[in-house]
Structure 1
Amino acid sequence: MSRSGRDPDRRVKTARGRKPSSTRWLERQLNDPYVQKAKADGYRSRAAYKLIELDDRFSLLNGVKRVVDLGIAPGGWAQVVRKKAPRAEVVGIDLLPVEEIEGVTILQTDFMDDAAPKALEEALGGPPDLVLSDMAANTVGHKQTDHLRTMALVEAGAWFACQTLEKGGAFVAKVLAGGTDADLLALLKQHFRTVKHAKPPASRKGSSEWYVVAQGFKGRDED
């Protein structure tokens, strides 16, 4: 037992009907310090700390006025934006329902829908300084297929950023192991002054996720 009187490595009994994978997930959640910290700090998910750590390294939220959050559910990243840039306009989109966040416009629709990009632009009221994407496709259990599906979302997010960003703006997206695909990397390097990969400490060690951080959007007149 720890000095707090709690077992430092809490175990979950396997309930009847519960899959072993579900039990392992519950154990991981109970023993994850970021999950506990998120509850204490009022964030909806541990993912909030990924953006906090990326911002600490890349100063993504300094002076931003308009932010788009692609894949906003459950809302942890938008909460961080609101806390660090309270005057910024924030618009998020997700297929899943998301509880209201003060100062954030939330669109519940598919980002891959043809009408979604225009709806985001109209809701934001001007070009974004920052486009965030924590989108990931629903997994089907086939590693290569899951990777391709998620990278298709990342590429769609990148094209949206290149078509809408304010000059000097930034694009941040979750990618999977192996980093950004060659074609997408070439697209980002064409449109942004710097493109880097990062794995914030809040990303679980066993996770295949990385983040691509593209900063210094050149503007459509320099393509």
Structure 2
Amino acid sequence: MTRTKTSKAWMHEHVNDSYVQRAKSEGYRSRAAYKLMEIDDKDHLLRPGMVVVDLGAAPGSWTQIALQRVGRAGRVFALDLLPVEPLSGMEFIQGDFQEDSVLAELESRLAGEPVDLVLSDMAPNMSGIDTVDQARSIHLGELALDFAARHLKPGGNFLIKVFQGAGFMEFRSEIQRHFASLQVRKPKASRDRSAEVYLLGLRRKPD
């Protein structure tokens, strides 16, 4: 009964959410578009001609923003376990980022081209068990950071969604090892009660 009430409350909030309504009227695939827009407006991560990798891209709203802002001279690679409806200019790979074969395909598509920006809005399939979900979330974050550390060009940037909880501070420290600066962002489109924050690693250190 409580679960049904909670589901109804979430649906009511979602339908009446101003960002959800804006996304529908402005043609974005989810409210998450406004999170990336706000961060990018502040930190100027996306510029024309860039090579961008978007991990956990479905339904594609971050990819939409990246494509708009890098323009035709840029390249945007999007990866997700779920399908993503085609977007003009998007280079999409469907698969599990945790599998070596999927990572190898992404690396093959890059063909040695250095990456300017790695975005990760990945989240695990939630089990409802907080400790398990947090551990899975941090593990995905570590995989994304490992990819960024190996493929970002020196000076490149890394933006990732993380949930505050066990392992969060250690993960923050790990990002700081690889980047000259670390910023924490909580955009307005992120619901206040959500434990999610965005960690921004700026200017990857040379090897």
Is the structural similarity TM-score above 0.5? yes
Q: Do 1:129 and 1:170's aligned partners in 2 also have CA atoms closer than 8 Å?
A: yes
Question: Does the alignment pair 1:114 with 2:100?
Answer: yes
Q: Percent identity?
A: 42
Paired position in structure 2 for 1:45:
30
Query: 2 CA distance for matches of 1:54 and 1:130?
Result: 13
Unmatched tracts of structure 2, length 5 or more: none
**Structure 1 residue 185: Cα displacement:** 2.3
Query: 1 CA distance for matches of 2:151 and 2:88?
Result: 24
Are the structure 2 counterparts of residues 194 and 64 from structure 1 closer, same or farther at C-alpha, using a change threshold of 3 Å?
A: farther
**Structure 1 residue 121: Cα displacement:** 2.3
Q: Do 1:175 and 1:212's aligned partners in 2 also have CA atoms closer than 8 Å?
A: yes
Q: Do 1:70 and 1:134's aligned partners in 2 also have CA atoms closer than 8 Å?
A: yes
Indicate which of 155, 164, 169 corresponds to 1:177. Answer: 164
Q: Which moved more, 1:116-125 or 1:135-144?
A: 116-125
Paired position in structure 1 for 2:56:
71
Paired position in structure 1 for 2:174:
187
Are the structure 2 counterparts of residues 170 and 64 from structure 1 closer, same or farther at C-alpha, using a change threshold of 3 Å?
A: farther
Q: Do 2:78 and 2:91's aligned partners in 1 also have CA atoms closer than 8 Å?
A: yes
C-alpha RMSD of the superposition:
1.6
TM norm structure 2:
0.92
Equivalence map 1:106-145=2 (5 Å)? 106-125=92-111, 126-145=113-132
Q: Which moved more, 1:33-42 or 1:180-189?
A: 180-189
TM norm structure 1:
0.86
**Structure 1 residue 219: Cα displacement:** 2.2
Paired position in structure 2 for 1:199:
186
Paired position in structure 1 for 2:10:
25
Query: 2 CA distance for matches of 1:203 and 1:180?
Result: 21
Q: Which amino acid aligns with 2:181?
A: T
**Structure 1 residue 104: Cα displacement:** 0.4
